[in-house]
């Protein structure tokens, strides 16, 4: 079994793939006739993996091209890069996490959510099934690894708070990209942020099956796992709306044509992704993608903002329109 984490292919760090596949078309925004393609840089939150399947389908299936877009897809050197680079206008769009967005905005980053990629929680608190941790209370005095800084303490406080513990009862260790390897090697006793559609499959295939605790079943409000963020100055940009319409078209195609979409996903330089782990993850993620990526669930975002204020993770609740928008029609 080839060891492959979600971020394990540096060779895929910058992708600018032409829309080569002859995909069936759906109604979407199209470019003004005769206009040159609008160039966009999209910063992923991780190396290319099945969570990004609609983006790859949009590229390979020509959905971006029909919308008059030339999209450069870039994987980060550090999982904390997307909000910083988008906030500095060094990338047009970034993949980020709804639950981290509030912290970034509270710290002054000029970001706005403009779309949703994965509309259900994926993150877990995971331990080894054959390890000493059988229930949450067993984590007292243990080490927990995480990858994306900023939200780890409130997540642990919330989850462990259901059994009378907090982040002060554990040691948090930033393991960067090495979540599964840190857990399997014994560097940590649990990992926060391992995805239920990926790391759990990876651990099982490695012969070290995991046991997951789901945050939304342990005190966390339901949230969008992966979202698109832009600089707030561009939160009404019609070019971004064309991007979202292309994503809607591509996601619908993916849901209707799963095997053909898989072939697009593993085409060309991504052929190294053609393994059992990614095939499982691909199938396990399809029903989690947002079919209306531009749509905004106001209640979901305002509810999570109240949660963040209650946890004293943000200083105030900003107006929703200042950090999350539904792009106007192109």
Residue 51 has pLDDT above 80, yes or no: yes
| Contact predicate 244/17, CB 8 Å | no
Task: Name 275's Cβ contacts closer than 8 Å, sequence gap at least 6.
Answer: 1, 2, 4
C-alpha 70: how far from its chain's center?
Answer: 22
Instruction: Kindly state the average pLDDT of the residues 54-65.
Output: 98
Residue 205 has pLDDT above 80, yes or no: yes
Residue 125 has pLDDT above 60, yes or no: yes
| Contact predicate 57/48, CB 8 Å | no
Instruction: Kindly state the average pLDDT of the residues 235-248.
Output: 96
Task: Tell me how crowded residue 219 is: count the other CB atoms within 10 A of its CB.
Answer: 14
| Contact predicate 227/95, CB 8 Å | yes
Q: Please give the structure tokens belonging to residue 148.
A: 């994306």
Provide the phi-psi class of 68: left if phi over 0, else alpha when psi is between -120 and 50, else beta. Answer: left
Confidence band of 79 (pLDDT split at 50, 70, 90): confident
Task: Tell me how crowded residue 104 is: count the other CB atoms within 10 A of its CB.
Answer: 22
Choose from 13-17, 146-150, 201-205 the range with maximum mean pLDDT.
201-205
| Contact predicate 190/100, CB 8 Å | no
Instruction: Kindly state the average pLDDT of the residues 42-53.
Output: 94
pLDDT tens column, 287-310 = 999 999 999 999 999 999 999 999
Q: Please give the structure tokens belonging to residue 321.
A: 């329109």
Q: What is the dihedral of CA 116, 151, 207, 186, to 10 degrees?
A: 160
Residue 33 has pLDDT above 90, yes or no: no
Confidence band of 12 (pLDDT split at 50, 70, 90): very low
Residue 19: per-residue pLDDT = 40
Answer with the residue of higher pLDDT: 173 or 178.
Answer: 173
Dump the DSSP string for 72-136: EEE--SSTTHHHHHHHTTSSSEEEE-HHHHHHHHHTT--EEEEEEEE-S--EEEEEETTSS--SG
State the Cα–Cα distance between residues 119 and 43, nearest whole angstrom: 19
Confidence band of 32 (pLDDT split at 50, 70, 90): low
Residue spans of alpha helices (H) in the chain: 53-60, 63-66, 81-87, 98-106, 152-161, 179-185, 199-205, 238-256, 258-265, 276-285, 298-310
Residue 151: per-residue pLDDT = 80
Residue 17: per-residue pLDDT = 39
Residue 63: per-residue pLDDT = 98
Distance between start and end Cα atoms, the chain = 46
The mean-pLDDT minimum among 76-80, 195-199, 277-281 falls in 76-80
Task: Name 271's Cβ contacts closer than 8 Å, sequence gap at least 6.
Answer: none
Residue 281 has pLDDT above 70, yes or no: yes
Residue 4 has pLDDT above 50, yes or no: no
Q: Is the pTM of this model over 0.75?
A: yes
According to DSSP, residue 289 is labeled B
Percentage with pLDDT > 90 across the chain: 81
| Contact predicate 84/319, CB 8 Å | no
Residue 80: per-residue pLDDT = 82
Confidence band of 77 (pLDDT split at 50, 70, 90): confident
| Contact predicate 136/159, CB 8 Å | yes
Confidence band of 26 (pLDDT split at 50, 70, 90): low
State the Cα–Cα distance between residues 316 and 308, nearest whole angstrom: 9
Residue 46: per-residue pLDDT = 85
Q: What is the mean pLDDT of the chain?
A: 90
Percentage with pLDDT > 70 across the chain: 90
């Amino acid at each position: 079994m080839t060891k492959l984490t979600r971020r394990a292919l540096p060779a895929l760090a910058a992708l600018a793939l032409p829309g080569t596949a002859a995909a069936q078309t759906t109604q979407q925004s199209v470019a003004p006739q005769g206009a040159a393609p609008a160039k966009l840089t999209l910063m992923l939150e991780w190396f290319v993996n099945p969570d990004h399947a609609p983006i790859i389908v949009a590229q390979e299936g020509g959905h971006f091209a029909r919308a008059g877009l030339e999209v450069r897809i870039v994987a980060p050197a550090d999982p904390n890069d997307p909000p910083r680079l988008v906030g500095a206008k060094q990338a047009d769009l970034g993949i980020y996490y709804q639950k981290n967005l509030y912290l970034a905005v509270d710290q002054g980053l000029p970001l706005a959510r403009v779309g949703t990629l994965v509309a259900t929680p994926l993150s877990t608190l995971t331990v080894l099934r054959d390890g000493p941790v059988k229930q949450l209370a067993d984590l007292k005095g243990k080490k927990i690894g995480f990858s994306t800084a900023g939200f780890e303490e409130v997540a642990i406080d919330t989850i462990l708070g259901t059994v009378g513990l907090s982040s002060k009862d554990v040691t948090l260790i930033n393991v960067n990209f090495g979540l599964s390897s840190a857990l399997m090697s014994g560097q940590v006793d649990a990992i926060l942020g391992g995805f239920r559609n990926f790391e759990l499959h990876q651990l099982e295939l490695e012969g070290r099956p995991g046991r997951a605790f789901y945050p939304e079943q342990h005190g966390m409000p339901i949230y969008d796992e992966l979202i698109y963020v832009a600089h707030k100055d561009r939160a009404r940009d019609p070019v971004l709306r064309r991007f979202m319409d292309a994503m809607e078209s591509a996601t619908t195609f993916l849901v209707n044509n799963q095997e053909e979409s898989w072939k697009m996903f593993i085409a060309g330089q991504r052929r190294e992704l053609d393994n059992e782990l990614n095939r499982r993850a691909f199938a396990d993620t399809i029903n989690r993608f947002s079919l209306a990526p531009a749509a905004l669930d106001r209640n979901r975002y305002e509810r999570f903002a109240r949660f963040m204020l209650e946890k004293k993770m943000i200083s105030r609740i900003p107006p929703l329109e200042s950090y999350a928008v539904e792009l106007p029609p192109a």
